[in-house]
Amino acid sequence: MSAQGTGIVIAIDGPSGSGKSSTAKGVAKARALRYLDTGAMYRALTWWMLHHGVDVHDPVSVAANVERPIITMGTDPDAPTVAVDGRDVATAIRGKEVTTNVSAVSAVPEVRESLVRTQREIIEAARAESAGIVVEGRDITTVVAPDAPVKLFITASAEARAQRRSKEVQTVDVAATQADLIRRDELDSSRAHSPLTRTADATELDTTGLTLAEVIALVLQLAEEAQVK
Ligand code: DC
């Protein structure tokens, strides 16, 4: 790593719909930190593969194409952006096709290697240029930033997660949303490379019965404690 920044890193992992994105954004805004949604990077790469006719279920084809798209992330928590080859894909990457196929793409080791490298560069740039960054995903506490002073594993019951995600994507079919969440959790937790796991030194936060404001307040408190240590 080149830049020697001093900004704080707050690493957040958790399954889909656990509330980690809203929490990460809220914490970043409250502390004037940058914000990185690493899931959006896996989604952007998946979008590009689908758009270019790459067979996303063939790891060899996926690996051969990893370096072709240029993925650019905007890290302002008030207006995060994601672009592929200069094209804004923020809406496209939330569509059903990408959501269905992103777990297959993100299980390919070459994909993880490439995106983790970019994520570390973004983190180092933020640490050098700002007060720090909140990074969320599945392997942030374990692989991307294992030395982060604040490491969190955010969970919620499958029912609560399905309710939240259904609201986000504006569907009334909560049962189908829940089935899809569980399917993706299983894929993301059981893959050979960097599966979603909680390390012993990450604080687990079950957000099932909590409001977003309560969760953000808890994380801010943990960040404060980490900085006075
Ligand atoms: O957080 P999300 O649902 O937008 O993430 C989309 C997918 O990307 C998710 O199914 C697993 C994968 N992912 C990953 O493998 N590692 C990360 N750090 C973030 C997301």
Instruction: Give the dihedral of Cα atoms 37, 110, 140, 190; nearest 10 deg.
Output: 110
Provide the CATH number for the domain around residue 217.
3.40.50.300
Bridge-based pairing of strands 71-74 and 34-37 is: unpaired
Mean per-residue pLDDT pooled into runs of 10, the chain (229 residues):
76 92 97 97 98 98 98 98 98 95 96 98 96 96 96 93 84 88 86 85 93 96 86
User: Cα(224) to centroid of ligand 1, in Å?
Assistant: 28
Pairing between strand 132-137 and 34-37?
parallel
Q: Which of 188, 189, 197 is the pocket-test mutation for ligand 1 (most atoms within 8 Å of CB)?
A: 188
Q: What is the pLDDT of residue 2?
A: 46
Tell me the helix, strand and coil percentages in the chain, rounded to 5.
50, 15, 30
Domain membership of residue 135 (yes or no) is: yes
Position 227, amino acid: Q
Q: Is residue 184 lining ligand 1, measured as CB closer than 6 Å?
A: yes
228: CA distance to ligand 1 center in Å? 32
Nearest-CA residue for atom 18 of ligand 1:
137
149 is in which domain, residue-wise? 8-228
DSSP assignment of 154-219 equals: EE--HHHHHHHHHHHHT-S-HHHHHHHHHHHHHHHHH-SSS-----TTSEEEE-TT--HHHHHHHH
In a domain, 2, yes or no: no
How far apart are the C-alpha atoms of 145 and 148, rounded to whole Å? 6
pLDDT at 199: 86
- Residue 152 tokens, joined: 């969190």
Task: Give the model's pLDDT for residue 47.
Answer: 98
Residue 178, domain member (yes or no) = yes
pLDDT of residue 186: 86
Domain contains 40: yes
Does any domain span residue 27? Answer: yes
Task: Report if residue 204 sits inside a domain.
Answer: yes
Distance from C-alpha of 213 to C-alpha of 121, rounded to nearest angstrom: 30
Torsion angles phi and psi, residue 211, rounded to 5: -85, 165
Cα 42 to averaged position of ligand 1 atoms, centre (Å) = 6
Residue 55 lies in a domain: yes
Q: Quick check: CB of 188 below 6 Å from ligand 1? A: yes
* pTM score, whole prediction: 0.93
Contact 139, 196 (CB under 8 A): yes
Whether the CB of 103 sits within 6 Å of ligand 1: yes
Query: Atom 15 of ligand 1 has which residue's CA nearest to it?
Result: 106
When divided into structural domains, the chain yields a total of: 1
Q: Is residue 3 domain-resident?
A: no
Q: Give the Cα separation of 163 and 159 in Å (integer).
A: 6
- Strand 81-84 to strand 71-74: parallel, antiparallel, or no bridges (unpaired)? antiparallel
Which is nearest to 160 in space by CA: 13, 15, 36, 12? 15
